[in-house]
Amino acid sequence: MTIADYKTSVRDILSAQKVTTSPTGKYAAHYTRFDTPRIVLASVDSNLMRQFDGDYMNDPEEGRYLVDVMIAAAQKCTHQHKELFTERLRELRASRLLYSAYKKSTFLSCWTVCDIKEDEKETSDSLNHWRFYGQDGAGSCIMIPLAHLIAIFPDMLYRVTYGTESRGGGSAAASRPVVQLRDSLTKRFNAIRKSRGNAMKELEEVIEATHPLLFLFKSSEYASELEVRSIIHKNGYAKSDGVLFDTREPKRAFIESNKGLIGSNSIIHYGPKSDHKLAIEAMGLAATLGLDISVYVSSKPYR
């Protein structure tokens, strides 16, 4: 397999994971800080999502699951320098700034897909998500119709693959993204030139070509989240690339989505430990913008 063939394989996996359509009733939920709805609904111009750099992910293993697949493929290949390949990939996995190690910056937002019926809106929030992502129950959750989210993030919304292990068999096994990637990697590693200098140079080409898949693999422990992510890659952190920094210390890098994130038919939940007055504030801000949304305070039992 040539490097061109391998890049085509990566593009095929990306294309298969891309979210382009949505059935009726599908929503995407984003659990976040208590003040995010206030910021988003402050004006028409602020009604957007900030996509933060991947180095801020809550799970320090994010991105490294992809490298695990690469390491497994290197160990499986028959190239004479397979041990050198494995050593280099382990160095990549151990980098504290893994995403900077690729010489690219990646910006994303994370959403959980859920089915919501009209009479279930008030109870459509998740206790586990409040614990993991919603300020320990004191935060907020923005729920957007998935079809609308696709319009906000055109051509950049992808499904997440859970687990790096290729368990099971049968006719469907070969179509799993983790199996496709592992097999393509092994073929490419086997085809790399034999001299050490050329081999390590071509390994770096493989690493660079794999980068677009970085945030599409996650631990199987999170499989119940059914996550989709907006993902966009930049060459650096310059304003000319559309990268901005917030006011925190140290400042955090982000890029902005299209405007109109919260539209009519959206839902906002506040956590079971939040101040109920935040819900009243959100309804007032939404009304000022002419948005017909539903706002609730969670009644989930929280300890």
**Per the structure block, which two tokens stand in for 299?**
């009644």
Region of 24 on the Ramachandran plot (φ > 0 left; ψ -120 to 50 alpha; else beta):
beta
User: Tokens at residue 118, please?
Assistant: 């009209």
Percent of the chain residues topping a pLDDT of 90: 76
Stretch 248-264: mean pLDDT, rounded? 95
Q: What's the pLDDT band for 41 if we cut at 50, 70, 90?
A: very high
Q: Has residue 187 been placed in a domain?
A: yes
Distance CA 145, CA 267 (A): 9
Tally DSSP H helices, then E strands, for the chain: 9, 12
Cβ atoms of 267 and 143 closer than 8 Å: yes
Residue 135 forms part of a structural domain:
yes
Q: Beta 267-270 vs 140-145: how paired, if at all?
A: antiparallel
In a domain, 172, yes or no: yes
pLDDT band at 286 (very low <50, low <70, confident <90, very high): very high
- pLDDT over threshold 60, residue 170: no
Give the integer Cα–Cα distance in Å for 298 and 140.
9
Label residue 200 by pLDDT band (50, 70, 90): very high
Mean of pLDDT values over 229-236: 92
Choose the most confident range, by mean pLDDT, from 56-60, 93-97, 166-170, 186-190.
Answer: 186-190
Look over the chain and give the mean of its residue pLDDT values, rounded to a whole number. Answer: 92
Sequence-ordered list of residues with C-beta below 8 angstroms from that of 206, at least 6 positions apart, any chain:
3, 6, 70, 185, 188, 189, 192
Least Cα distance to 74 among 181, 166, 161 occurs for: 181
- pLDDT given for residue 119 in this prediction: 86
At residue 28, the 3 state secondary structure works out as strand
Whole-angstrom CA distances from 242 to 57, 199, 234, 239 are 20, 36, 9, 5
The answer as to whether 302 is a domain residue is no
Enter the DSSP assignment of 303. -
Nearest-CA neighbor of 219 among 81, 58, 31? Answer: 58
pLDDT at 91 over 70: yes
Asked if the structure places residue 150 within a domain, the reply is: yes
Instruction: Name every residue whose Cβ is closer than 8 Å to that of residue 262 and which is 6 or more positions away in sequence.
Output: 37, 40, 41, 47, 142, 144, 268, 286, 291, 293
- Which of 194, 204, 201 is closest to 70 using CA atoms? 204
Burial of 226 (0-12, 13-18, 19+ CB in 10 A): middle
Q: Is residue 164 very low, low, confident or very high in pLDDT (cuts 50, 70, 90)? A: low
Rounded percentage of the chain residues whose pLDDT exceeds 70: 96
Judged against a pLDDT cut of 90, whether residue 25 lies above it is answered with no
Question: CA-CA distance, 242 to 146, in Å (whole number)?
Answer: 25
- Do the domain assignments include residue 61? yes
pLDDT of residue 173: 58
CB 97 within 8 A of CB 234: no
pLDDT at 171 over 70: no
| Per-residue confidence (pLDDT) for residue 104, from 0 to 100 | 86
How far apart CA 201 and CA 205 sit, in angstroms, is 7
Tally of domains in the chain = 1
Residue range of the domain that includes 159: 3-297
pLDDT at residue 49, rounded to an integer: 96
Per-residue pLDDT at 302: 78
